Structures are given as C-alpha cells and as structure tokens.
Amino acid sequence: MFFSKASLTSTAAFFVYAQATYLNNDLSFGHDGKISPNGRAIPNFHMTGQPNYPDILSNRIVLTPPAPGNQRGAVWTEKTLQHSQWAADIEFRATGPERAGGNLNIWYAKNEDVKLSSIYTVGKFDGLALVVDQYAGSGGYIRIPSKIHIRQTTDNFKVEVDGALCFQSNKIKLPLGYVFGVTAASAENPDSFEIFKFVVTTDSHTPDDQVQNHAGQNQQQFQAANNPPQNQPPNHQQNQGQQQQLDTPGETPASDYKSSDAQFADLHNRLQAMMKHVTALNRDLSQYQANSLSRIDTLNGNINALTKTISRLESSLSKLESIPALERNLREVANDVKSTKKELHEALDQHVLSLKQRVAESHGSVLGTVGEGLKSHRSGVGYAGLAFVVVGSQVGLVVAYVLYKKRKNGGSKKFL
C-alpha cells in the first residue's frame, strides 16, 4: 500500500485535531481571570444563597463567608452538557479557623432540584456528587487554592486532586443532558469556600446530537448517491440538490465575491461544513478506537489462556521426560535388591556350614570324652567290684537294723 506525502500530512493534521479540546463558554467562568463582566451576575449561570447571597469578587465567588456561620451558597449552570467526552476543572479554596466545619459539593445532576443541599441533606437525586469536607483533612489549615480535575472519556472516568489521582473507573459512564453545580455549606464555626474557576472543555466542538443527525444525513446521501431511485419527482430531486448544496458549499470562483461580507459568509459556511465532517470523523475514530481496545482485550485474554495451556503442556512434557529416568532408577534398585539377596544367601550358607562344622566338632569331642571315661573304668575296679560294694553296703545296713531292733526289745520296761 502506498501513501502520498499529502495524505500523510492530512492524516497527521487530523490526529492532532482529534486530540484537541474545545472550551465550552456556556458552562465555564473564570478561565480569562474574570468572574463577571459587571460584578452582579455570571453569564449562563445563576446563584442562590441562604440566608445571604454569594459575593461576586473580581477573581472569585465567595459561596460561604468567613463570618457569620451557618451559611449556604450555590452556583448552577443554566445550560446542559451535550457531549459524551469532556473534562471539568474546578479551582477552589477552603479557609477558616481551627476546628472549623463545612463542606463543598460538586454536582453533575439531572436537574437543579438539589438547590442549596449538601450530600448530607439532599434527598433522592439522579447524578454524580463529589464532596470536599473537613474529615481526614487539614481543617482549613492550608490556605492555598486546590484544583479538582474530572475527566470523562468513552471508556474511563477519572478524578484528580492537585494533579494526583483520586480514583478512576471504566464502569462509570455519565449521561448527556445534565447540569453542573457547586454548593457549599458552613457550620457554626464556619469554613469559607471560594470558587476561582469552573472550566468545562469537550473533545468536539459540535454537540453529540447534532453529530448524530449529521452522520445520519451523510449516510442517507451516500445511499441515495449509490442507489438513486428510478422514478423521482422533479421537486424531490431539486430539494435533494439544495440540501446537498447546503451541506457542502459548491465551488465558486473567488471573483464572484465582491464584498467582505460575502467572503466571510462563504468562509463561515465552508468552515462549518468542515467542522461537521471532522467531528463525524472524530466520532468514527473514537468508535474505532473503542472497538480496537475491546478487540485487544479479547486478544490478550486469548493469549493469556493460550499461555496457560502451553505452560500445562510443558509441565506434562517435563513429567514425560522424567519417566525414563524413573525407569532407570527402578532398574538400579532392582539390581541392588538382587545383589543384596544373593549376598544374604551366600552369607547364610556360610553361617549354616560353619554351624554344621562346629556341631560335628562338638559331637566328636563328646564321644571322645565318653570313650576315655569308659576306658578308665575298665582299667580300675570294674563292674563286679562296683556291684560288690553296693551289695555289701546294703547287707551291712540290714544287719545293723536287726541288731538295733533286738537291743530295743531286750531292754527293761518301765511302768507308771
């Protein structure tokens, strides 16, 4: 694919334009250093207070004064926000004595029913509320202005305080057609709340509803150009040609414009048509970017799932690779068991053989001892002598017993 230098230049200019922001004068004040042109009212805003009306100074609005306490003040936009991508910058200051009380509330609500209420006293409402109070703060001890930046895009909502991120979420999408407001309330020991600047910027100059209508008209014109009806009344063709001429000014020589008013009108029409086309392109680019981000998220999810699957396969493969090593270990253990069993059998056989030898030696020694004893008896008295001794001893005992009985019976008897 080939891109010419002119097309690349126009593309770069388009992306620079797509990132540009536009000041919404109807929803802003204080951006030029002035709050009110006359010191009595703010264009496109209305204020209210209880019991006292807020003070308008040259560079700030005093919603609640330093004294007396128990004051309420509010400033609300008269027109609604009609852009889906926007940013709001609020510069304020809270001052007061030690242990003072009060709160500042920034609203993006469906209507002005909130009026002078704070987040603690408001009833049911539809919208967003950001609260600045004395809890977990410095109690009005820091007397320099603070800045709150609120940013809404197609896929993110973010709040920053003094350049530091407060919170963000991709699940918050604020609707169109709501109004901005700032309310403040002070306690008996009051805090003074002052607003220096409230600026709203948008990513496109044209409201979203007009862009959608213009995109629908372009789509209808494109379809009509590609599929022209066969039978159209002359009046319809003439009206369509006039509408096309209104949307895109025709080519006219510069010599035809004799006055500066005519030249300015032609330039205004061309710039307006260009702005509409660029806004439509910007919306298409934003939609394409959102679709691309969703596709990238889906692709990342698929890649993560594939990575997990590959990790599981690698772990399984490593286990499979460890099976041969396990088999080798089992074979080595089996060989060790066989060798140990063989050694045990050999040792047992040797032990049994040694026992047999010792028993045989013991038997031989016993038999030799008995034989030697018998030989010694044979060489001495012998069996006959032994029998004579035994019989003689028995006969001697019998004779002794008989003599004893006779002596006892032959003795004199004693009578009582």
Q: pLDDT tens-digit profile of 332-360?
A: 888 889 889 888 888 888 888 888 888 88
Could you say which DSSP state residue 348 is in? H
Answer yes or no: are the C-beta atoms of 37 and 148 closer than 8 Å: no
pLDDT score, position 235: 46
Least confident range from 54-63, 94-103, 242-251, 286-295: namely 242-251
Express each pLDDT in 163-201 by its tens digit: 999 999 999 999 999 999 999 999 998 989 999 999 999
Letter for the amino acid at 306?
L
pLDDT score, position 8: 42
Answer yes or no: are the C-beta atoms of 14 and 21 closer than 8 Å: no
pTM of the model: 0.49
Q: Is the pLDDT of residue 293 over 60?
A: yes
pLDDT score, position 415: 54
ω before 228 within 30° of 0 (cis)? no
pLDDT-derived band at 402, boundaries 50, 70, 90: confident
User: What does the alpha-carbon distance between residue 272 and residue 206 come to, in Å, rounded to a whole number?
Assistant: 10
Answer yes or no: are the C-beta atoms of 138 and 114 closer than 8 Å: no
Domains of the chain: 21-203 (2.60.120.200)
Q: Give Cα separations from 264 to 1, 129, 261 (angstroms).
A: 40, 44, 5
* pLDDT mean across residues, the chain: 80
Could you say which DSSP state residue 190 is in? B
Express each pLDDT in 111-121 by its tens digit: 888 989 999 99
Q: Sheet containing 45-50: give its strands across.
A: 45-50, 72-77, 179-186, 102-109, 127-133
Segment (H or E) for 183: strand 179-186
User: What does the alpha-carbon distance between residue 55 and residue 71 come to, in Å, rounded to a whole number?
Assistant: 12
**Three-state SS for 178?**
coil
